[in-house]
Amino acid sequence: MNEIMVVNADKIAKFTGYSSEEVAIIKQTVAKGTTDAELAYFLSVSKSAGLNPFNKEVWCYKDNKKNLLVFAGRDGFLSKAQSNPAFNGIRSSEVCENDEFEIDIANNKIKHNFGKKERGKILGAYAIAFRKDGEPTIEYADIKDYDKKQFTWNTHKSAMIKKVAETNALKKGFGISGIQSEYDFDIKDNVAIPVSEFDVVDELAEKEKEYIKLIDTQPDEFQAILKNEALDLKRSGKLTIEKLQELIEKIK
């Protein structure tokens, strides 16, 4: 560990209550790429939320605008909710296409039955977070909004969509703020990308494939020129679905 790291770690330790050694470890693991100010902020949020970075209950990434976002998974939100004296358990289930399922969130009612027959594909999941001092909080997560092309979603789809619903119910039911759900984002090249942007990214990728396929039908002397036209737009960050469609129409 170099001297600069030791000095910075000492300063942050005094501010956050962690030891210098703990600060240095966190900087190299769950808070990579953070400035001293960002690291101090992350540690302060972790401490105030009662979440442990060493147990991977909380971590951080930056978005594409360089804003620091603090994340937790279902276990982190559950730990935070369980520390509240009003916590009275949580219940959840995946919902499949052949299930008998009705949900009335306004009146806190769910009817869900499934028998021995094939349940069919997963449509989503619901979770109910119970409080001793008030009404339960019901949240439903649609699989279409969260199903990502990642190993854990492919092999453990039921468990993953239930974690989404549980996280949302715990977060809302116990007023947990300042911490993002890991299931609302994906990490690409150490940048946090909202799940809501995935469809746009996928559509752009498909449009690029269409353009490249069309270029391959053109005379050899034009192919490099056409490819560079799209590549220049991509490098400048100006490549959009609309721009690609314009290029496609120009070739046609």
Question: Tens place of pLDDT for every residue, the chain, 252 residues?
Answer: 444 344 488 888 877 888 889 999 999 999 999 999 999 999 999 998 999 999 989 999 999 889 999 999 999 999 999 999 999 999 999 999 999 999 998 888 999 999 878 999 999 999 999 999 999 999 999 998 888 767 788 889 999 999 999 999 999 999 998 899 999 998 888 889 887 665 544 566 666 777 778 877 877 767 777 777 777 776 666 767 677 778 777 776
- Number of residues that this document lists for the chain: 252
Q: Which residues pair with 127 in a beta bridge?
A: 92, 139
In terms of Cα–Cα distance, which of 97, 198, 95, 99 is closest to 138?
95
Asked if 96 and 119 count as a contact pair (C-beta separation under 8 A), the reply is yes
pTM: 0.73
Residue ranges with strand state E in 97-171: 100-104, 109-113, 122-131, 137-142
Residue 29, token pair as written in the block? 């693991």
Q: What is the domain partition of the chain in residue ranges? A: 3-72, 86-174, 198-251
Asked if 111 and 100 count as a contact pair (C-beta separation under 8 A), the reply is yes
Place of tokens 């600069």: 4
Task: Say how far apart CA 87 and CA 80 lie, in whole Å.
Answer: 10
Residue 89, token pair as written in the block? 């358990």
